[in-house]
Structure 1
């Protein structure tokens, strides 16, 4: 097929895509695009072709994602996924590095999907979940308190059978309370409740507080905790409660999927213009087929390995929501039977 015909066919194929497509070289110059990308991002492709992406794409978040992919030079494959608002559109942005056969970075590719309608439907669902969760929180908390009173013997001694039954009721009620709290956290993040509560945060202090809260769980499984926090960590602007939730869920997840007498490692350091958090464990690991879905709401691996591990399936979804809300990124590396490492990058400014 003649080269000119091949180019026309390629252009026709790209312009028939429902999603926007934008490709840059390793220096950030636009080398390929389709009509949908022009429409969603509001740039003139003919003028922008061969020009720096930052000179024609006015959304700073998107330009920042592309720039991050091109400048970090991470040794492993990574990608950036987030939601950005442009005009009346809400776009799901997916930015990936492009590498040659030798693994050298040669550019980036960005996919843009308009999720405005889906976002509206999701908001209705979130509002419903928040309403139901608020209604459940009070009676569940009351039930948990009353079962504790019974188990403490404050209203009379219990026989062994009665104690066993009430302990099971308390455990199930506690699980429901955790689910309700997780749902409320998800709704808080999705409704952008953090926007009005931004402050300067010392993540070293926030991390230490989270570790203190998780210490009983570590002790219960005799898990060794290894902490490495770099000195003089710069503060970041963020929401305090959301950051605490991110730390707690990452640490809790590591403990939950690590066998007794295992190890959890936490590292907090500066990486260029980002703060880097690594939470690693020596746990059961994640199967490759599940990695792409672990940040989905209510998703949990269903297998013999996890059947006795309780959870709501919302912890990592909360973590992803917090990271996205603070314009950061999260990646995961895992080997079955060896353990898992979550890496979070948060912009200092």
Structure 2
């Protein structure tokens, strides 16, 4: 262990001071050529006088040291100068001492020495090329990161920032050095620190884990900015060993979205009041016309009633979406009979959907903890969609079954179906299938988005199994243990 530690220490020292092309290039050019010559001459004197030629191999070992030292100080060119001067010194000052005893062998050693010296020089030249390429790649990457509109930072496993790129100045107003050593949580809105810590712990649990985030961070002026980005666990990557964040300022986008949602919420509220009043007047007119026996007029009023009902449903959907986005959609949780709730919804559709046959299969299940009205809303949406998108497929099957710790409600139709590539998007807000004929199926694309949110609030899951042209089976699950 101690040997490995010593090796790592020496390697780090060599890379920092010796094999460092940047430091070598800053040293005076004259010294990079004078020092190898001086070192070779001093070594020659040491070999000839104090050591007094005690061995045939001693000069070569000493000159290898000179070459290595010269390469570390001045690079491959210094090593080449040291190699040539060392060879000359051996030939001029030392070779004649070995002419009488093994002169031929010593001459052969000189040749081998020169070859090995040139190989060492070539090796250092290769190291320089590799370092140059590595340095170029690093500078290119750093330039891309520093000039990017997105921010980039690295933190240790405790969430303390160890590197922050220059773009943080445009995003949050800080200089990079002002954030070094600062915990990320120091910038996060107090209401969001707990949720952030939970997500951060999940990131730490798995190497290579990646997760997106949307947080409010405080800028240098003390204002809260919406920051969106991605965090990656790269602690076990030997070249990084950090948690890596890339992020961008999306405050303007969030504010625009909030303004749009506020407008939709206000407009929906303002529209709902007169439409509700209009619906009431239509129902009164129906009663008067019914008493007078004006059946034809009643048919027209009935159609008007259905259109006002549809309009009210659309307004309710828009209001629910704005409440979901603001976290204001109300829930009243409690134990209820799910089979009975499903049966009530199915019976209501049977009374109005005369063109479809709706079957129901249930099995005994214990009471479920949830909001009965919200679950009815989810099921109403699924059955309503099944009727809407299966005009020529009269059979709709509703099934309640248990799967492990969950109860699963399924709604199957024989309609137009959903292509595989679109199935992940259909639960998105305002999404309308691209394969639908234009102006054929009306709607805002909000029903499934609302249904998915309701199911998530009940700690359940929701999905679909379908093929284009072969109908669809939507399902959602609720935990039986509440």
Q: TM-score, normalised by structure 2?
A: 0.46
Q: 1:253 to 1:159 in 2, by over 3 A?
A: closer
Which residue matches 2:110?
none
What is the correspondence of 1:310-325 to structure 2 with a 5 Å cutoff? 310-325=442-457
The alignment status of 1:330 with 2:465, answered yes or no, reads no
Judged with a 3 Å threshold, the aligned counterparts in structure 2 of structure 1 residues 135 and 306 are, in CA distance, closer, same or farther, namely: same
Which stretch of structure 1 is more off in the superposition, 322-331 or 243-252?
322-331
Match of 1:176 in 2: 311
- Once the 2 structures are TM-superposed, how far is the Cα of residue 87 of structure 1 from its aligned partner? 9.5
- Structure 1 pair 149–332 and aligned structure 2 pair: CA distance change class (3 A): same
Deviations 1:238-279 (A, max 9, x none): 223221211111111111112256211112222222221211
Q: Secondary structure at the match of 2:263?
A: helix
Instruction: Call closer, same or farther: CA 1:183–1:155 in 2, change over 3 Å.
Output: farther
Q: Does residue 293 of structure 1 match 2:425?
A: yes
Does structure 1 retain, via aligned residues, the 8 Å contact 2:393–2:413? no
Report the counterpart of residue 351 of structure 2 in structure 1. Answer: 216
Q: 1:196–1:344: structure 2 CA closer, same or farther, 3 Å change rule?
A: closer
Counterparts of 1:139 and 1:326, CA distance in 2:
34
Change (3 A) 1:231 1:123: farther
Choose the corresponding residue for 2:388, options 241, 245, 256: 256
Write out per-residue CA displacement over residues 199-242 of structure 1, whole angstroms, 9 at most, x where no aligned residue: 22332222122222222333x21x22222212124422x22322
Question: Which residue in 2 is equivalent to 1:200?
Answer: 335
Counterpart CA distance in 2 for 1:148 and 1:315 is 27
Q: CA deviation at 1:305?
A: 4.6
Distance 1:343 1:267, change over 3 A: same
Partner SS for 2:390:
coil
Q: Describe the superposition over 1:80-122 as per-residue Cα deviations: whole angstroms up to 9, x where unpaired.
A: xxx99999899999xxxxxxxxxxxxxxxxxx99999566654
Contact 2:346 2:360 in 1 (8 A): no
Residues 1:272 and 1:114: Cα distance change in structure 2 (over 3 Å): farther
Q: Distance in 2 between matches of 1:328 and 1:170?
A: 36
Q: Is the 8 A contact 1:203 1:235 kept in 2?
A: yes
> Which residue number in structure 2 is paired with residue 225 of structure 1?
358
What secondary structure is seen at the aligned counterpart in 2 of 1:277? strand
Count of aligned pairs between the two proteins:
274
Larger % of strand: which? 1
The change in CA–CA distance for 1:268 and 1:115 in structure 2 (over 3 A counts) is farther
Among candidates 419, 426, 440, match of residue 308 of structure 1: 440
Name the counterpart of 1:79: none
When residues 84 and 242 of structure 1 are mapped into structure 2, their CA distance, relative to the original with a 3 A threshold, is: farther
Helix, strand or coil for the counterpart of 1:208?
Answer: helix
Q: What CA distance in whole angstroms lies between the structure 2 residues aligned with 1:201 and 1:113?
A: 45
Contact 2:331/2:374 (8 A) holds in 1: no
Select the structure with the greater relative contact order (CA < 8 A; seq sep ≥ 6).
1
- Pair 1:235-2:393 in alignment: no
Is the helix fraction higher in 1 or 2? 2
1:284 corresponds to 2:416: yes
Q: What is the aligned-residue RMSD (CA, Å)?
A: 4.5
Q: Which residue of 1 aligns with 2:405?
A: 273
Q: Which runs of 5+ in 2 are unaligned?
A: 1-133, 152-162, 164-183, 185-195, 218-225, 231-245
Residue 180 of structure 1: how far off its partner (Å): 1.0
2:268 alignment partner, SS class: helix
Alignment of 1:1-349 (within 5 A): 41-43=199-201, 48=205, 122-151=257-286, 153=289, 169-193=304-328, 197-218=332-353, 220-221=354-355, 223-236=356-369, 238-260=370-392, 262-301=394-433, 305=437, 307-347=439-479, 348-349=481-482
Structure 1: distance between partners of 2:453 and 2:250: 17
